[in-house]
Amino acid sequence: MTQLGLCGGERAATSEARHLWNLVREEAVAAIEHDRVMADGIRDTVLQHDSFADALAHRLARKLSDYAIRIDTLEGMLCEALSSDPTIEAAAIADLTAVRDRDPACPDLLTPFLFFKGYQALQAYRFGHWLWKRGREHLARHLQSRSSEVFTVDIHPAARLGQGLLLDHGTALVVGETAVIDDDVSMLQGVTLGGTGKTCGDRHPKIRRGVLIGAGATVLGGITVGEGAKIGAGSIVLENVAAYTTVVGNPARPVGVRHTAMPALTMDQTLPPLDYAI
């Protein structure tokens, strides 16, 4: 099956993308039937588009366009990225599914696509990263700046992020230039993945698969947070965290026994009994 749309003219759509977009469109029709006031906005954002890629480019262009880059110019650029790099669409689909599956406040796929700024900011980063890798650094920084202004999420376009990510709420989240985030990670609002000062080079954290980072946690320096680890809300992490370990406090230290679950997937933010003041 081919789709005719803005993103690259005639393009092959994956079965996953077609299936997801059909679900979103069904949810959009039901939302309009439930509340007609939403009709114009949902038609513009969802129903007038034949594909997920077209709709994603349009949604972000509407959010991020400004006096410096008009909506049609930005939409065309986003479509160029989607057409030339299929991994962007695949990651966006994985992220959207992750939000629906992990966030108890999310009833469907339509809701984060329309309203969740953590999801939208993550997709804006993906386009900025595409630009950065092609040497278009000023344009990438423009998208980073606009995303910070619009979504209050600041992800450096050089950072390397996997897919299936959940940025829950997103507000005040900061990810530094040399940070790495693997697949299937969940982070809440106010998280900082930063450096420890003016150190140059590789200076930001590496977050491995399945990690859950609680609200307001700060992870600093070129350290590694191992697979399946859990960082409690408000913690300050300055040293490596072992895999499948819970750390909490300032400075953070391990608590409880080693677990076996992937906390990013379960979103279990409970902590074992503490003998450590935060």
Nearest to 153 by CA among 129, 125, 174: 174
Residue 252 lies in a domain: yes
pLDDT, tens digit (0-9, with 9 covering 90-100), for 125-178: 999 999 999 999 999 999 999 999 999 999 999 999 999 999 999 999 999 999
pLDDT at 253: 95
Q: Where residue 198 falls among pLDDT bands split at 50, 70, 90?
A: confident
Please report, for the domain that includes residue 34, its CATH number. 1.10.3130.10
- Say if residue 144 is in the same domain as residue 7: yes
Q: Which residue has 């953590």 as its token pair? A: 118
| Average confidence score pLDDT of the chain | 93
pTM attached to this predicted model: 0.92
What are the tokens at 134? 């092609």
Please report, for the domain that includes residue 217, its CATH number. 2.160.10.10
pLDDT tops 60 at residue 45: yes
Residue 90 lies in a domain: yes
Residue 25 lies in a domain: yes
pLDDT at 199: 77
pLDDT tops 50 at residue 4: no
DSSP line for 137-173: HHHHHHHHHHHHHHHSEEE-TTSEE-SS-EESS-TTE
What string of H, E and C letters represents the secondary structure of 36-95?
A: HHHHHHHHHHHHCCCCHHHHHHHHHHHHHCCCCCCHHHHHHHHHHHHHHCHHHHHHHHHH
pLDDT tops 70 at residue 10: no
pLDDT tops 90 at residue 271: no
- Say if residue 86 is in the same domain as residue 15: yes
pLDDT tops 70 at residue 11: no
Between CA 202 and CA 106 the distance in angstroms is 36
pLDDT at 272: 82
Domain that holds residue 273: 172-278
- Say if residue 64 is in the same domain as residue 132: yes
Give per-residue burial for 125-161: e unless 16+ CB within 10 Å, then b. Answer: bbbbbbbbeeebeebbbbbbebbbebbbbbbbbbbeb
Residue 216 zone, left/alpha/beta (φ > 0; ψ -120 to 50; rest) = left
Residue 162 lies in a domain: no
pLDDT at 275: 65
The total number of structural domains that make up the chain? 2
Residue 159 lies in a domain: no
Instruction: Choose the weakest-confidence range: 23-32, 78-87, 198-207.
Output: 198-207
- Say if residue 143 is in the same domain as residue 191: no
Q: Which residue has 């859950």 as its token pair? A: 212
